[in-house]
Structure 1
Amino acid sequence: MKKIIFSLLVLAASFSANAQVDRSTMPKAGPAPEINLSKPQSFELKNGLKVIVVENHKLPRVAYTLTLDNPPIQEGDKTGAATLSGALLGKGSTSISKDAYNEEVDFMGARINFGSQYAAASGLTQYSDRILELLADAAINPNFTEEEFNKEKALLIDNLKTNEKSVSAAASTASRALLYGKDHPKGEFETPAGLENVTLADAKAFYNKAFIPNNAYLVVVGDVDFKNIKKIVTSNFKDWKKGSALPAAFTTPKNVVSTEIDFIDMPNAVQSEVIVENLVSLKMSDPDYFPVLMANQILGGGGEGRLFLNLREDKGYTYGAYSSIGNDKYGMTSFSASASVRNMVTDSSVVAFLEEIDRIRETPVSEKDLKNAKAKYVGSFVRSLEQPATVARFALNIETENLPEDFYQNYLSKINAVTIADVQRVAKKYFLSDNSRIVIAGKGSEVLSNLENVSFKGKTIPVKFYDKEGNAVEKPKYEVALPEGVTKQTVLNNYLEAIGGKDKVAALESLLMVGEGSVQGTPLKLTMKKTNKEQFVQMIEVMGNVMSKQVLNGDTAVITAQGQTVTPTPEQLKDLKAESAIVAELNMLDDETIKLEKIEKVDGKNAYVLALNEKKKAFYDTESGLKIKEETTQEMQGQTFVQTVLFGDYKEVKGVQFPTKLSQSMGPQNIEFTFSEVKVNEGVTEADFK
């Protein structure tokens, strides 16, 4: 009975207490949680190598990070030597071959990576001493051979050539060159032609200059003992020779006096890459650092940012729009806002970017916006503490960025202390809507006329023209008069003649093509089969598994994708029948709906443009007559996009030329197929279309 009475009294007291709570006011936020980080221990070798050790015995693992704290290094006419020196590191050492080195690393289940100014390794504690020994050996005694150098150089050149048509790569390269200047380390970039001048001696020279212990930090995190680590680090790194300190001697770039559009013409662009940027001076040790983090988070730090909500969610211009801001103790860095946008809204996107940047400068953000930004940032920060690499990065930053010892213990309280006034103050200081470079790489023939009429705050924004390397060029000319007498029929007849002639094309009964490609590193296999009886099969396989398949057999068709099978709509069936033609141009000669529109540049070549229907265009080289591109306008999730297919490397099979390279892009995705097997009038049976 007493227990029951006591419980009732407790319950009554609880109700009484609740009744006295004033729910008309929001409760005050509690204190920011205290961040407890493992306190690092440190020591320094006689050669200047500084070592930071964070013991963490929760898991039997260890991670080593070697970082060179050098200022930006200007390479000049030897640009690429740094990248190649980094690529050569880790290829064994002077005492162990590349194959033996890799075999031992694999046996231990370890990971060891190198760059031109860093090295990292991780693995199980039981192998920790040997992992560090291998890391040190490859870093201090690199095995720079002519054979490996030539291999890495050829690979780098091939990668650069592959990206020559990349709109995003062109925008990125040109934006850095224009923002910093080509005589600044951050404005330099590698080119295939420039790399031809870089030798193995240049790569060695860069390594000897930059990879020096007196500018290096080794951070050790994991299941280790400090005394043992000090012993093995000293043993493995004591012979690393000091070098001369690198000077931070480079030009100081400046922002433009007033906002301008810097346009790079990319005739193959199906979207425009837009980058709005300006230079800033910001260090982690600056009082503005935390307010800037919050201002950028509100503006464009993610899916909740204003840029994303405006350009994607509200206007549907892009899949995503974001902003970022750097920090650099050695000099200028940048604020940048960017997105890939549809051609037809390129000019409107520029205005939307500037308006959002200007809004956060001129109008105080709401309490809700700031609260949400803080919550997002705090959540990411707390989650990052679960990773040992985070602790290592924190310890390194405190050493290299001139930060107080309690910088990260007070990190959350500094975030929570940011005010609305702070956000507006730093937005005005660092987000320069009146002094921005707006770098745009896009299809000038479609976007330039509107871009030249873009105005902001009542002033037209001037447009300047540059190539992909940031060199000033003349305004591109797009209007090329159609030669007298050229018609749709002449374009189609020239194509048919170029690939072998009407008679040989008309004699085609079937076609088999098998090609290989990849997307984001995943290998793909494309198989196409066609007949002259409206029969068509297209199948894409991923690692032996069928990802998608389309089958047409006369008036019946089936489409299978990711295990789901559907019957095509009448419009899809019509498209499949058009696709089933072995050479579609033979059937297009008498199609009155097809129109010859104009001449347009495609990768620097003039091409006749045929409008096949409202959604599809085909481009034919004015000199060779060959088809070099197709464009198809498609809708997806309420947005309109242009899918581009480039044709190249035509090869003759039984008297008829077929393109053996096919590059397909839609938005940022690009897939290139190379056809290794092309068969005419063989390899196709009726069973293929069942």
Structure 2
Amino acid sequence: MKRLTIFLFIALFALPLMAQKRYDEIEYPELNPINMPEIEEFNLDNGIKFYLVEDKELPLINVRVTVKTGGLLVPASKTGLAGMTGQVMREGGSENYPADQLNTLLEDNAAFMSTFIGFGSGGGTMNVLKEDFETLLPAFVDLLLNPAFPQDKIDLAKTQTKSGISRRNDEQQQIAGREFQELIYGENSVYTRQTEYETVDNITREDMIEFHKNHFVGSNMTVGIVGDFDTEDMKQKLREAFGSLPTGSPTNLIYPDIEYDYPSTINLVDKPDVNQSYVTMGHIGGLRENPDYPAIQVMNQILGGGFSSRLFQEVRTNLGLAYSVGGSYGSNINYPGTFRLTTMTSSATTAEAIDAILAEVKKLQDEPISAKELQDTKDRFLNSLVFRYDSKSQILNERISNEYNGLSEDAFDELVKGIRATTIEDVQRVAQEYMNPDQVQILVVGNKAEIGDQLEKYGNVNELDITIPQPASDEPQEAGDSAQGQEWLKNMAEAIVEPGTEVESITTVGEQTINSPMGEIAVSGTVTINFLENSQNAVLSTPQGQIEINVADGKGSQKLGSQEFPMPPAQVQQVQNEIKRSYMSIALDRSTLDAEYMGTETIGDTEYVKLKINFESPVTYYLDSATSLPMMSTFSQFNPQSGENQTVRTEYSDWNTVDGVTYAFVTTSYANDEKASSSKTDSLEVNN
């Protein structure tokens, strides 16, 4: 029995392994013909085009409206207007169906509605049960025709947009995609515009109303309906529902031409908190209307299209140089796409991975592919294409998309025919004609210190600045008395650090309470701040366990248990700015600082001296005129989450002197008058 059990165990686990095949051993069957459904078309006098497809499989009806509009039409100063308009249309409800009422209606009927506006198109969708269609169709049309644009929803959309802006430098891939677009299309191109804090602030409710009014009209609309309905009955319902929409003026989407002269550049975005490089390289791409489009798609599959591609097999599998790798020659419909090669590799192998990828491109140009590789690629590609048409809804959406973009309704069949006809010679010809591996722009997003001088072999390295622009401050800057400022700064410094006392760092033991969206969080532990190095080490007990935080040399890390995570650069910068603004740093660095006496201010019954220290973001200390110790400090700080400046106020009390250093054992901080944190020091150690 024991031998039999072992035999069965081996057999059961061996059979699946024996059945597995390599990607190049799979035999693909002939592609079955795709049965296209019958599409009924009709128009209304106001210009709306309708496409109807009956599908009785489920008692559902899907409506998709396509509108000729987009962010392409928005002036640069209001970038973000189109997307936010599409967002607020749905979130704000309509005149007859306010947001709360509409949400309840949809929830009660298990229905879904959405609106959107992208770069080159907009529209809305509705998914609903057949029995609820007549009830919800008027609400959907009212949402498209009469959005309410309530101010509170606009404010929420602005806050969400600004929060997204604040996080756009978090991920390497997102940075690489954005910055590579700018290298190809140009810094001021409409194709590379970014929504910024300032452009969001420029957008008004009136802008949204006007943008919607100009484009959500009959002459710009195409409506596709798929589902369980009778075509003639549906036509009548649609005439009644959409007939009141104004005809309006048709929108003209003009895509600017691109001037590109194939420069060879090497560019770096320094991201100190990572230990790998994300590489993107290439040049301008082409247009969908190119007769070589089918052959280019076959070439793309061979070069970088999935696990079987040459880039994956050579650069990742054989050479082990990449976590991920891919590439393709992009062909957009309305403006040229990009030829793009990408990889994620360790910092130490950045240049080696770049060279290996470019070598594969040149090999595809220099050596004809085999007949087997061509046929296997065609089979894989054609079999994957059928999933674009696996439902009537997808078929209809493809048909509407083709018409919207000026493609023939037979574009898919033409693509399949072109792929079948592609030869070995075609693949080599398009590889030679359209890809220029010796004229690429290389972009590396990675750790500059770890990469070292690897990139210099490609030319002069351009280090790109990806700092997120902050909106201009409208706060008036008052001038004070510099002479008195320096005198009061001396008084404050000597009150905090006795003359002759040397301080390199201080170590405090205590507890802190932090106000967060989840409520108050209590932490305790030891914090050491080195003022000479502008560094900090903290070992804290938190509800999640013990956390160690280290900030030094412009880098930071957080260690929780056995796991260590890099701190985002913005967070590191915030910690170092806090050290620099602290009264201890100011007292130790007073000889290098610029200070101004700003007069006095009475708070409660006490008159305090106002002393402004002129950093990039000035901080003002309120000094007790008798002791010269600060009672409070204030400064204006940009909050990336809200996209606005906020006033940070810190109050100091319970001053104690230890080894020549007078230190506030109790502090409380506020952000725009809301309590942010409080701390209490139990003991202080001065390190010389």
Could you report, residue by residue, the CA deviation over 1:526-573 in whole angstroms, capped at 9, with x for unpaired residues? Answer: 9999899xx999887xxxxxxxxx8xxxxxxxxxxxxxxxxxxxxxxx
2:153 paired residue number: 148
Residue 297 of structure 1, CA deviation: 1.7
Percent identity of equivalent pairs? 21
2:616 paired residue number: none
In 2, Cα distance between equivalents of 1:210 and 1:269 = 44
Q: In structure 2, which of residues 442, 449, 455 is the aligned counterpart of residue 451 of structure 1?
A: 455
1:369 paired residue number: 373
1:47 paired residue number: 46
SS of the aligned residue for 1:452 comes to: helix
1:292 paired residue number: 296
In 1, Cα distance between equivalents of 2:223 and 2:31 = 32
SS of the aligned residue for 2:462 comes to: strand
Residue 389 of structure 1, CA deviation: 3.4
SS of the aligned residue for 2:167 comes to: helix
In 1, Cα distance between equivalents of 2:468 and 2:372 = 42
Q: For 1:186-201, list aligned pairs within 5 A.
A: 186-201=191-206
1:109 paired residue number: 110
In 2, Cα distance between equivalents of 1:452 and 1:129 = 66
Could you report, residue by residue, the CA deviation over 1:471-496 in whole angstroms, capped at 9, with x for unpaired residues? Answer: 9xxxxxxxxxxxxxxxxxxxxx9795
Corresponding letter in the other structure for 1:232: K
Q: Structure 1 residues 325, 677: CA separation in 2 closer, same or farther (over 3 Å shift)? A: farther
Could you report, residue by residue, the CA deviation over 1:213-234 in whole angstroms, capped at 9, with x for unpaired residues? Answer: 3232211122222212222222
Contact 1:179 1:187 in 2 (8 A): no
Could you report, residue by residue, the CA deviation over 1:59-94 in whole angstroms, capped at 9, with x for unpaired residues? Answer: 212211111245743531111111111111112111
Unaligned runs of 5+ in 1: 1-25, 455-460, 472-492, 518-524, 541-549, 551-578, 586-598, 609-614, 627-648, 661-675, 683-690
Q: Structure 1 residues 364, 515: CA separation in 2 closer, same or farther (over 3 Å shift)? A: farther
2:673 paired residue number: none
Q: For 1:365-444, list aligned pairs within 5 A.
A: 365-409=369-413, 412-444=416-448
SS of the aligned residue for 2:149 comes to: coil
Corresponding letter in the other structure for 2:37: S
2:58 paired residue number: 59
* Stretch of structure 1 that moved more, 294-303 or 331-340: 331-340
In 2, Cα distance between equivalents of 1:391 and 1:617 = 46
* Stretch of structure 1 that moved more, 426-435 or 287-296: 426-435
Corresponding letter in the other structure for 2:51: I
In 2, Cα distance between equivalents of 1:617 and 1:34 = 53
1:630 paired residue number: none
1:632 paired residue number: none
Residue 327 of structure 1, CA deviation: 3.6
Q: In structure 2, which of residues 466, 476, 487 is the aligned counterpart of residue 468 of structure 1?
A: 466
Q: In structure 2, which of residues 303, 321, 326 is the aligned counterpart of residue 322 of structure 1?
A: 326
Corresponding letter in the other structure for 2:461: V
SS of the aligned residue for 1:434 comes to: coil
Residue 439 of structure 1, CA deviation: 2.4
TM-score calculated relative to the size of structure 1: 0.65
Corresponding letter in the other structure for 2:175: A
In 2, Cα distance between equivalents of 1:600 and 1:624 = 15
Residue 256 of structure 1, CA deviation: 3.8
Q: In structure 1, which of residues 180, 202, 226 is the aligned counterpart of residue 231 of structure 2?
A: 226
Q: For 1:547-558, list aligned pairs within 5 A.
A: none
In 1, Cα distance between equivalents of 2:84 and 2:565 = 44
Corresponding letter in the other structure for 2:147: P
SS of the aligned residue for 2:259 comes to: coil
In 1, Cα distance between equivalents of 2:332 and 2:170 = 31
Corresponding letter in the other structure for 1:204: I
1:237 aligns with 2:250: no
In 2, Cα distance between equivalents of 1:40 and 1:350 = 49
Q: Structure 1 residues 395, 447: CA separation in 2 closer, same or farther (over 3 Å shift)? A: same
In 2, Cα distance between equivalents of 1:33 and 1:148 = 49
Could you report, residue by residue, the CA deviation over 1:498-542 in whole angstroms, capped at 9, with x for unpaired residues? Answer: xxxx3x42xx6x99999889xxxxxxx99999899xx999887xx
1:83 paired residue number: 83
Contact 1:325 1:334 in 2 (8 A): yes
In 2, Cα distance between equivalents of 1:38 and 1:63 = 16
Residue 248 of structure 1, CA deviation: 4.2
1:37 paired residue number: 36
Q: In structure 1, which of residues 319, 333, 336 is the aligned counterpart of residue 337 of structure 2?
A: 333
Residue 616 of structure 1, CA deviation: 10
1:252 aligns with 2:252: no
Contact 2:270 2:445 in 1 (8 A): yes
Residue 625 of structure 1, CA deviation: 5.0
In 2, Cα distance between equivalents of 1:149 and 1:275 = 36
Q: Structure 1 residues 324, 45: CA separation in 2 closer, same or farther (over 3 Å shift)? A: farther
Q: For 1:117-132, list aligned pairs within 5 A.
A: 117-132=122-137
Residue 435 of structure 1, CA deviation: 3.1
Contact 2:334 2:405 in 1 (8 A): no
1:277 paired residue number: 282
SS of the aligned residue for 2:361 comes to: helix
2:312 paired residue number: 308
Q: Structure 1 residues 67, 335: CA separation in 2 closer, same or farther (over 3 Å shift)? A: farther
1:213 paired residue number: 218
2:3 paired residue number: none
Residue 394 of structure 1, CA deviation: 2.2
SS of the aligned residue for 1:89 comes to: helix
Q: Structure 1 residues 527, 348: CA separation in 2 closer, same or farther (over 3 Å shift)? A: farther
Q: Structure 1 residues 316, 75: CA separation in 2 closer, same or farther (over 3 Å shift)? A: farther
Contact 1:74 1:250 in 2 (8 A): no
1:98 paired residue number: 99
> CA RMSD for the aligned pairs?
4.4
In 2, Cα distance between equivalents of 1:158 and 1:309 = 39
In 2, Cα distance between equivalents of 1:400 and 1:310 = 40
Corresponding letter in the other structure for 2:78: K
Corresponding letter in the other structure for 1:320: S
Corresponding letter in the other structure for 1:335: F
Contact 1:323 1:338 in 2 (8 A): yes
Residue 301 of structure 1, CA deviation: 1.9
Contact 1:35 1:409 in 2 (8 A): no
Q: Structure 1 residues 74, 198: CA separation in 2 closer, same or farther (over 3 Å shift)? A: closer
In 2, Cα distance between equivalents of 1:617 and 1:49 = 54
Residue 126 of structure 1, CA deviation: 1.6
2:172 paired residue number: 167
Residue 167 of structure 1, CA deviation: 3.4
Contact 1:259 1:433 in 2 (8 A): no
In 2, Cα distance between equivalents of 1:134 and 1:681 = 60
In 1, Cα distance between equivalents of 2:205 and 2:106 = 26
Residue 623 of structure 1, CA deviation: 6.7
1:68 aligns with 2:67: yes
Corresponding letter in the other structure for 1:46: D
Contact 2:66 2:123 in 1 (8 A): yes
1:353 aligns with 2:357: yes
* Stretch of structure 1 that moved more, 311-320 or 406-415: 406-415
Residue 321 of structure 1, CA deviation: 1.7
Q: Structure 1 residues 398, 453: CA separation in 2 closer, same or farther (over 3 Å shift)? A: closer
* Stretch of structure 1 that moved more, 253-262 or 241-250: 241-250
Residue 157 of structure 1, CA deviation: 0.8
Q: Structure 1 residues 623, 133: CA separation in 2 closer, same or farther (over 3 Å shift)? A: closer
In 2, Cα distance between equivalents of 1:408 and 1:143 = 40
Q: Structure 1 residues 514, 355: CA separation in 2 closer, same or farther (over 3 Å shift)? A: farther
In 2, Cα distance between equivalents of 1:444 and 1:192 = 28
Q: For 1:613-628, list aligned pairs within 5 A.
A: 625=579
Q: Structure 1 residues 426, 625: CA separation in 2 closer, same or farther (over 3 Å shift)? A: same
* Stretch of structure 1 that moved more, 100-109 or 350-359: 350-359
